[in-house]
Structure 1
Amino acid sequence: MKRTLIIVAVVTLAGVAIAGMLYGRDVIDGMRYEKAMHQIGETNKANAGPWPQPQEACFVCHGPRGQSLNAWYPALSGQPKAYIAAQLHAFASDQRPNAYMGPLAKDLTDAEIDAFAIYFAKQTPARNEDVPADAALETRGLALVQARSCQACHGGNLMGKDQVPRLAGQGADYLAKQLTDFKTGARKDPTGAMNGAASMLSSEDIPAVARYLAGMTPEHDGAVAH
């Protein structure tokens, strides 16, 4: 009997050793994966509560965590909280008409709008796109931005403040569309400042300004990076 037990133990240990050699890496990788997913889950809870999170529905257009990777859709990451909230209220009240955002914003409560604004405002911003180099457009865009004193409202690094949006690193197509809409009156700034500024831009100025802003790397402190 004792001999039988010894044989069983030896066979079992041999089986474990062979399994370890065959599947050990998979087991370790599985443990690492589980640990990584747990860390992601804990980060999400600390960041905005457990998944699913309502704001993640926005990723289809605005990218994960509000960082758009599409030149046509604005990034919400790093936008001032007050600006995000103001725009959602404007969409909901049709002060800023939009066939897509209007219905979505109308379904949000004030508390939900504040939650969205807080969440996206604290996300780390980045450029929407890698803008092709064009020295002539960039030089013209910089000159126009400085001449129009855009920093006075949008901040030294054009990162936005209060109810004024971040421009640095937004998509060129989106920026050009908004400037054109301000110029034509299709989009109205409650203060009138953007309509007045855009009205002084020519059809050649707008793509230059948009190109320059899109090529900026969002920076909260220090000199603006390109």
Structure 2
Amino acid sequence: MATALSFALPSQATLSADSADKPAWAYPITPPDFKLPPDDGKVHHVPDSSAAFTTTQLRDRFFAKDWHPDDHPPMPDIVAFGRKPDVLACGHCHRVDGSGGPENSSLAGLPAAYIAQQVADFRDGARKSSVPQRIPVALMLSVSRAVTDAEVAQAAQYFSSLKLKKRIKVIETDTVPKTYVAWLIYAASKGEGREPIRGRIVEVPDDLDQFEAYDSRAEFTAYVPVGSVARGEALVTTGGAGKTVQCGICHGHDLRGLGPIPGIAGRSPSYIARQLYDFKHGARAGPWSALMAGVIANLDEEDRVSLAAYLASQVP
């Protein structure tokens, strides 16, 4: 794609020195010297859409790319355009249908009160990240300090009214395509062969150009270790012989949410793994966080990978 948001890095990208114990596969880092290439003036298209956007429009954080307007109800202005100079369009990063991507949260179908609480937690410092140098985290922190409660309520009501669609295919495997950091996420390197999975989840877009165009219909493949889905199912449904508690007690028997508690089925395994790590290490300290920290206190990285793999395999 002419936006050329990607640049090659080693498959096992490293974190900063103070983050060396964290799973690099879940926290892709954009190098500080990264710069977007000049706008080439090209007009872009995606499958099954008559819309067309320029590179400048794709990069505009105050303009949500609405490739498929029939897929969602009318967007409030805060979702479609944000509010200059400090409040980005919610639909730019999280997509117009709330589908999000591996780099951030999918908001579709989350309780409105939960969405509003997360913005408040970012603003008040209760919600952070174990790797705060990630661009999506920095942007969310900035927006949370500038957005008004009324704007948050409008966006939260909109996204909570939407249904998250299944867009992640989970494949168990011993080897995965070699990858590189494509700005905010990992992407498969074409023609570079494969490498051992090494206990990771490798979540990549099926079509990088479509993802970089912010198409809400972009789909992803999540490669996970062999046997992880079954291990995750055991942890989710039984608590793993006392290692944790059944997820359905709080998140609903179908894992699609219960009251103010968010649904966790069918969401990005990279995102889920980051949240589990952040809960365990105190980076999330808002309401319910202490309960989550206790629930996952005895889970190691293999357990977190298995949980994320199983949840991603479910229908949202």
Normalising by structure 1, we get a TM-score of 0.70
Match of 2:257 among 154, 160, 169: 160
Q: Distance in 2 between matches of 1:42 and 1:138?
A: 34
RMSD of the TM alignment (CA)? 2.7
Partner of 2:274: 177
Map 1:143-158 to 2 at 5 A.
143-146=234-237, 147=239, 148-158=245-255
Task: Report how far residue 189 of structure 1 moved.
Answer: 4.4
Note closer, same or farther for the CA distance 1:54–1:162 as it changes in structure 2 (3 Å cut).
farther
Preserved CA contact (<8 Å) 1:41 1:50: no
Preserved CA contact (<8 Å) 2:112 2:156: yes
Q: Which structure has greater strand proportion?
A: 2
Unaligned runs of 5+ in 1: 1-32, 34-39, 219-226
Q: Distance in 1 between matches of 2:279 and 2:71?
A: 39
Note if 1:101 corresponds to 2:140. Answer: yes
Partner of 2:179: none
Task: Report how far residue 51 of structure 1 moved.
Answer: 9.7
The percent identity for this pair of structures is 34
Cα deviations by residue, 1:45-70 (Å, 9 ceiling, x for unpaired): x63457983469223332232112x2
Larger radius of gyration: 1
Q: Spell out structure 1 runs of 4+ moving beyond 6 A.
A: 40-44
SS in 2 for 1:74: coil
Match of 2:232 among 118, 132, 141: 141
Partner of 2:299: 201
SS in 2 for 1:89: helix
Partner of 2:90: 58
Partner of 2:310: 212
Note closer, same or farther for the CA distance 1:67–1:52 as it changes in structure 2 (3 Å cut).
closer
Unaligned runs of 5+ in 2: 1-49, 51-67, 83-87, 129-136, 174-225, 240-244
Bigger mean CA offset, 56-65 vs 76-85: 56-65
Partner of 1:47: 74
Matched residue count = 179
Q: Which amino acid aligns with 2:99?
A: Q
Q: Which amino acid aligns with 1:165?
A: P
Task: Report how far residue 41 of structure 1 moved.
Answer: 7.4
